[in-house]
Chains A and B, each alone.
Chain A
């Protein structure tokens, strides 16, 4: 069964620190992997999109990596800010028209 699992479920860090969120998937075959940021009460916003042939993709302080052999992805946040407090969702697209969403990691950044 196609699944996307994220860890940790929640994370608390201090402002200015770095953190890494994990995503493991069993989707096969897959065409691309996405990371989204969802602020409380808002819709998800795209951070990165990677195809199966890409290993890394950056968007400002956000860097996503992909290991298609182990079916793992990570999202690294550098020099965290209070505005990074949100849920981060890993989304995998198998071939076709559908997406498979992880349940997200809830990140809280405290001053």
Chain B
């Protein structure tokens, strides 16, 4: 059981480049989300999805796009990378909405550096 799989693990981008962080889960979870983790701050929600075809913005959505065409996949796209997007990105999933109390599973993270 792979759980939540993120790729790539590490990436260096030049300012202005675009890229996609991939996230896949094999647990048939409805709820998926993307967070960024910066030094001295708690994880912050970028975008989330409560099911295929449904996405919504989190706390820090600017500069990022998401789509949810299947239950399994939830890619995060950086449209035009900026140094402020240098961070560690985590994808997470759970069986249902987080308020339900279900366990939330996190991926291993994607380290992104924008130069």
Contact = CB atoms under 8 A, between A and B. Distances in A.
B41 interface: yes
Interface in A52-110: 89, 93-104
Contacts of B101: 31-32, 49, 51, 93
B108 interface: yes
A4 B43 CA distance: 11
Interface of B: 4, 31, 40-45, 48, 50, 56, 58-59, 90, 97-101, 103-109
A104 B104 CA distance: 17
Q: How big is the A interface, by class?
A: 20 to 34
Interface of A: 4, 31-32, 34, 41-46, 49, 51, 89, 93-104
A38 to B, nearest CB: 9
B50 A103 contact: no
Contact of B42 (A32, A42, A98, A101): A101
12 contacts: A32-B99, A42-B109, A43-B4, A43-B106, A45-B106, A46-B103, A93-B99, A95-B99, A97-B50, A99-B45, A103-B42, A104-B42
A45 B90 CA distance: 12
